[in-house]
Structure 1
Amino acid sequence: MTTTYRVAAVQAEPVWLDADATVEKTIGLIEDAAAEGASLVAFPETWIPGYPLFLWLGSVAGQVPFVGRYHASSPTVDGEHITAIRRAARRTGVTVALGYSEKDHGSLYMSQTLIGADGSVFLHRRKLKPTHVERSLFGEGDGSDLKVVRTPLGRLGLLNCWEHLQPLSKYAMYAQHEQVHVAAWPAFGLYKGLAYALGAEANMAATQTYALEGGCFVIAPTQVIGERALETFTTTDDQRALLAKGAGNSRIFGPDGTPLGKPLDEQAEGLVVADIDLSLIDLAKNAADPAGHYAKTDATRLLLDDRPKSAVIRPGEVEGPYFPELDESPADGAVA
């Protein structure tokens, strides 16, 4: 297992509601990460096809015109878009933590897929409980989505956005001895100055706390809101007042909560990059290991049901999404 390597957190604007163009941009960012010497690159929540900002900007009737477009732009796990990104990971030798809106027939999920440097899939998960108005568009995950997996880069786990405000979900991850965590966020431009809880300061504090509590490295990618977002999602002055440009705030934290890497300006696109050393986790956990020597099992314990739950169960059927084997396509990394 590699214990010292470079990681990268994406800070960029998706091509809103355009899966083809966003996948092309994704592949370019993977290539940029490879050029920077990164072994792992992490993308924001619902990076493809962009976070559904329209959910927060008006009535349900006003959202309806976007719903069909959002469905049409959401990848399936076995479709050309995810396959192209898997090929790009294999071609560049970079492990990719991808956030996207997953289309599963008539339902959407706020999903994350961890793709290995050979294009294989280490982990696929769905956000357990979409936040507030997100629940009008997305379905829920289950306990099987609280999972840490063993990889050549250590024990890796992923969560989305306000899952980092769920103490029991966080503890379920800590208890699996997570070493590197991807905390995927959208942009922080919604209701900027009006709702502190939706802002960068509060949510990066929660992210930093995750690193400190869990004694792990945390990579936190974010989206950027540019002029195209305003053109796509706003038609009135009231809507434009609720959506601030910029709002990128990607960060990387060490297992003692120390910020790592050089942050970008909130309107800039690029990568926040840092070198990590997993041996530092032992030093952090020597002081406080929340699911080890610092636990108090006679007082508090967590009940975790991590069995997958399906609406229909057929004898002998394996539950979960199916990712097809990659072929040896000459156009490795291209969208078909």
Structure 2
Amino acid sequence: MTGRVMVLGGLLVLAVAIVVAVLVARSPGPGDRPAPAVRHTPGQIGEVTERRLDERRMELTIESAALEATTRVRLLLPKGWSRDAGRTWPVLWLLHGGLDSYTSWTARTDVDRLTRDTGVIVVMPDGGRCGSYSDWWNDGEGGAPRWAGYHLKELLPLLESRYRAGGRRAIAGYSMGGQGAMLYAAEGHFQAAASFSGAVDILQEGVPQAVMAGTTVGCFGTDWKRIWGDPDAQRDIWRAHNPYDQAGRLKGVRLYVASGTAEFWEDPAEHLAGKAGKAFAARLEELGIAVQTHFYRGRHDHAHWQRELHRAYPMLMRAIGAR
């Protein structure tokens, strides 16, 4: 009996590590590792270089003060886009999840084709290894990486000042990116937000333990407490980064929440995402905040996230006046 318990316990730890490797971690792809530290006054952005990959795709390399590193963002530009145009375009941000990067949306979904005939700038920023779309706590010292600071205080103004991005914005993300989408929308920067298999309740039963077990495995020894601290001792910080606890700040935002309902033994990541999505949607409804939902039998993969983007896309575009 004791042996069976030990085996089951070992399998559970392994499953938890897999869950967080998907939900909150990412491994760098070729050319995707941040460069050595770049120091500028906080709030300022350093050198920006750009490269046109094709008719629509543009890749920016940015020296970020918030990250104290060089990072990249991929853009899909609409037909007729010009830096000298006498107009701006509405914007769709797409956030990636664990084990992925800023290239994943274009590499693993049909987002290029989906958005080709829509007058919208698509923004796909890097979210960092275990970045969690958060400014890291770092034992109370703050400092880099400040992923939220980079995205909202550096990248967003840069897009508006140099790339004709307008003030009407929608945001969507999968897995870790679903958490980021809802957190950024709660800050008041987006008119619509969608989460696909998102980490939208990081304090639900089992998830803090998954973070503890998996961040070290998925992020090559990173101390998991650097992100938000201890879930008990720094409970307020965890709540500040938990979409479930921030749900009341989403009033007035058009919302879409989707996830699969796999059993734990089928897909542990999607099992937790499904529980989180249902709890988050219930919290929104309890607060009288409208939300469109889709819970389905499915797994934690890009095929389902592409499908959910298609389902959410008309609502996201209406919210920002894109057509």
TM range (shorter): 0.3 to 0.5
Q: TM-score, normalised by structure 1?
A: 0.32
Q: Which structure carries more helix by proportion?
A: 2
